[in-house]
Chain A
């Protein structure tokens, strides 16, 4: 009897010991805090120094950047917006009420019963508390969740590389992004959706300001602080100059959002209406004519085949990286391992996800991430896709030509992939 109790104790002790070890090794969730952009800091250090001997910013300089960020944008629990800017009013861009609904831990306000923590409830597990696209599930997804911090967005109806409008981000939330892990949030009430849009823009602004502040460090004397409150009493003129410099950078970020404007999308030509009238019939003489026009552009002037491939299977150029990851790779490397060398030596230790080459869309699947409406496809061709190699063709293709391409691209999923039109005569038809 005594031995049995003794055995039980051994068992319990082992379990207890195991639990203690498990807990102490960091398996509890860390407090919600904004992560520092270590990757961008390392990029700046390399640019300032040489690749072999990167310059190093001091701990004090990093802390200074983090302090300015907290003073201007607050914390994940208590977000705020920077004021005191000359030519920009942040409240015009981001709704403070929306921020309150989206920020903080998930729950409700005790008095008003308004929701709280919408971002952490719906977004943070993929996009991360910081909006760095490095939430706990991010590593399991392909494509990775968007990193909001560079302020670049792909799917929008504003001009080429400009910022998206709120309506663009709202559309992405409502529709989701087909072919990715981004779901539709159509079931959420309107005010919650727009609160999330405000919060995503807030995270972008904060991320962009962080990048600006880090790049300002490169212009300083070695070890100097961007904004040192102690300087206020000793050298108020110098402090004023530093404040002006920091404010100008912050202001530029806000202005880049307010100068964005919708791109012009001309109405489709007359044939578009006839051809899309009822059931689309690709065998009619007119349809064949438009299709062939689109095909010729696809192969020729518009240059689509150089990335999307001869057969539009998205296999033309598969070794490009997008703008979010290209700073972590060596584009000149011959093999993928060569290209990934900077990531392995420098950026991996900062928790950055393994960069993957960006795949041109396989146009035969009929899955379009930015939306399948003709107007979406028109915009992708005319303005390009921000942050990717997909170029802006607004000046080089006429509206009629772009609509023909849209018609052709929309016909591709219905064509035999094994016998794509005209591919057998490629050598003769290919432009030099």
Chain B
């Protein structure tokens, strides 16, 4: 009797154990890792949108955007000025390789460079494609001075040089049709990586030997400034923008910039770009005709007008650098 009881109890425990094992196996095994959910779409919208992308010329006619014609040229210059006070200062970078060459000079952290009279250096101002595509090489749009430089080879002092393991131009702009010499004034080799990620401008990752050079022909424009780094020296960074048209400028030591001949009589959208404040938020411009929104300044110039912008950018835009 006692024995029978024992077996019966075992018979009760064992199935429960098997059940529990099956339960844990089924609930734990074979489940995929958690992925975020798919984005639900509205089939009606998809069908609507498909009308725009019908293959083999069956699609609806695209709305032809008329390109306006400029009536002359204006001159644009100005300064980028920092207002308010920064939450700290940036420490210089500390190279850890090829110190004979790279340790020769102090390498500043150029994520934000404030020059004389609170000028902000290395801000790029460029005309972005707004409502229409800007024609390239059209004398109505481009002053002769720009046409002459359209296919130039940027070499020597106009090239893109690196010295003491630092890019001499931290922010650089060129035209898609131009050719750029990438120079190396150091005795060590650099591994210059042009990381054009968006747009059609060529990406390139060059080994530039000590005192050597290579040439870069982007061929097409980049959509925005792209990063340049050195595979051998991780602290080296710079930015290059490749533009179809010549309407761009990079602010100098005192924050000043100049675009000598902007087309007048047509609405232009200028983009303000800084590596640490993409589309800065708190910005004021001393020009009631210029409209600022999310990194973009819009204005139409009149022929032979001379415009001098003071663009004030608040220090709060750079707070994140000092945490």
Contacts and interface: CB of A to CB of B under 8 A. Distances in A.
B52 A84 contact: yes
Contact of A83 (B33, B56, B189): B56
- Report the contact-size class of chain B (Cβ under 8 Å from the partner): 35 or more
Contact of A391 (B11, B33, B58, B231): B231
Nearest to A138: B33
A372 interface: no
Given A21-B26, A26-B31, A161 B203 contact: yes
B62 A84 contact: yes
B52 A227 contact: yes
Nearest to B37: A36
A17 B23 CA distance: 7
Contacts of B215: 395
A83 B38 contact: no
Contacts of A432: 100-101, 187-188
A35 interface: yes
B39 A63 contact: yes
Given A221-B294, A229-B48, A67 B16 contact: no
Nearest to A81: B55
A247 B62 contact: yes
A392 B204 contact: yes
Contact of B62 (A13, A244, A390): A244
Interface string A11-55: 101110111011101110010011110100000000110111100
Interface stretch (A235-243, A265-273, A274-282, A418-426): A235-243
Given A221-B294, A432-B100, A136 B32 contact: yes
Interface string A218-250: 100110000101001000110111011001000
A83 B58 contact: yes
A240 B65 contact: yes
Contacts, number: 231
A82 interface: yes
B78 interface: no
B15 interface: yes
Interface stretch (B141-149, B156-164, B193-201, B245-253): B193-201
Nearest to A255: B200
A351 B42 CA distance: 25
B116 interface: no
Contacts of B204: 160-161, 392
A7 B11 contact: yes
Interface of B: 8, 11-12, 15-16, 18-20, 22-27, 29-36, 38-42, 45-50, 52-60, 62-63, 65, 100-101, 131, 187-189, 191-193, 195, 198-200, 202-210, 212, 214-215, 219, 223, 231-232, 234-235, 278-279, 293-294, 319-320, 323
9 contacts: A10-B12, A11-B19, A14-B15, A17-B19, A259-B200, A303-B209, A350-B36, A391-B231, A396-B208
Given A30-B32, A392-B206, 7 more contacts: A18-B27, A35-B38, A67-B46, A82-B55, A212-B198, A239-B63, A240-B63
